[in-house]
């Protein structure tokens, strides 16, 4: 996460926790027309290595949006216009800290680095192990160690075949799937944050 995103995450995490949810991380995307503040939420895992009993729903996203919007109005950590989006992590969930990398050790992730390392700024490999703030990836049979502080963004790469969602072979029409619960807010962004009402990460 960027420094700004980390600051906002620390500010909002207690509010999300008070709703029985977990703030996985924050993306802050500034732009001349108005920034986007995207929050990823999830239900806390049921114990070590456990999974939550249900998936995050639209109701959870709406509840977080209401509480967070009120807090942002008071704290005012963002100058200028911005749009607030609250999302569940999705299958290609983002990873924000060492604990999250540890939880998904053995799975593949796509990573963008803040600063190039060994001539790389982008990489994709299996999460081999996590020691402190150092994440070791397997890349083409060799190990590549990265500090979490140097990771700009990272996402899991789902095993679509194992999920029964492998790409359709040429010549066959792929099944049509809706990936968002609601359309994005198309109004011009204002200082007052507005949720997109989605429970699916982009």
At residue 2, the pLDDT reads 74
Cα 20 to Cα 15, 118, 199, distances in angstroms: 9, 41, 16
Residue 187: pLDDT band (50, 70, 90) is: very low
At residue 171, the pLDDT reads 56
Cα 9 to Cα 155: distance, rounded to the nearest angstrom = 18
Cα 138 to Cα 60, 101, 109, 145, 149, distances in angstroms: 36, 13, 10, 9, 19
Residue 79: pLDDT band (50, 70, 90) is: confident
Higher pLDDT, 88 or 192: 88
Q: What is the mean pLDDT of residues 93-100?
A: 96
Q: How far apart are the first and last CA of the chain?
A: 17
Model pLDDT for residues 9-31, shown as the tens digit of each residue? 999 999 999 999 999 999 999 98
Q: Which residues, 6+ apart, have CB-to-CB distance to 113 below 8 Å?
A: 120, 121, 122, 123, 146, 150, 151, 152
Q: In percent, how much of the chain has pLDDT > 70?
A: 76
At residue 160, the pLDDT reads 72
Cα 1 to Cα 4: distance, rounded to the nearest angstrom = 8
Token pair 């011009």 in the structure block, residue: 188
Model pLDDT for residues 112-168, shown as the tens digit of each residue? 999 999 999 999 999 999 999 999 999 988 999 999 999 999 999 988 776 676 665
In the predicted structure, residue 190 carries a pLDDT above the cut 80:
no
In the predicted structure, residue 33 carries a pLDDT above the cut 70:
yes
At residue 163, the pLDDT reads 65
Note the residue count of the chain: 202
Q: Which residues, 6+ apart, have CB-to-CB distance to 142 below 8 Å?
A: none
Map out the domains of the chain with their CATH numbers: 3-87 (3.30.300.70), 98-156 (2.30.30.180)
In the predicted structure, residue 183 carries a pLDDT above the cut 80:
no
């Amino acid at each position: 996460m960027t420094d700004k995103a980390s600051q906002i995450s620390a500010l909002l995490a207690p509010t999300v926790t008070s709703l029985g949810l977990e703030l996985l991380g924050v993306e802050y995307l500034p732009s001349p027309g108005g920034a986007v503040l995207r929050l990823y939420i999830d239900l806390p895992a049921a114990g070590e290595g456990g999974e939550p009993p249900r998936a995050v729903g639209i109701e959870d996203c709406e509840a977080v949006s209401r509480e967070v919007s009120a807090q942002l109005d008071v704290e005012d950590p963002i100058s200028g216009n911005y749009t607030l989006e609250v999302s569940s992590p999705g299958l290609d969930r983002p990873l924000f800290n060492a604990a999250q990398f540890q939880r998904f050790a053995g799975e593949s992730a796509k990573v963008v680095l803040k600063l190039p390392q060994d001539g790389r700024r982008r990489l994709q490999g299996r999460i081999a192990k996590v020691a402190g703030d150092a994440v070791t990836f397997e890349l083409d049979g060799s190990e590549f160690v990265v500090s979490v502080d140097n990771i700009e963004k990272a996402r899991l790469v789902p095993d679509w075949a194992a999920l029964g969602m492998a790409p359709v072979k040429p010549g066959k029409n792929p099944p049509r799937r809706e990936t968002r619960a609601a359309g994005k807010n198309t109004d011009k962004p204002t200082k007052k944050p507005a949720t997109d009402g989605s429970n699916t990460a982009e």
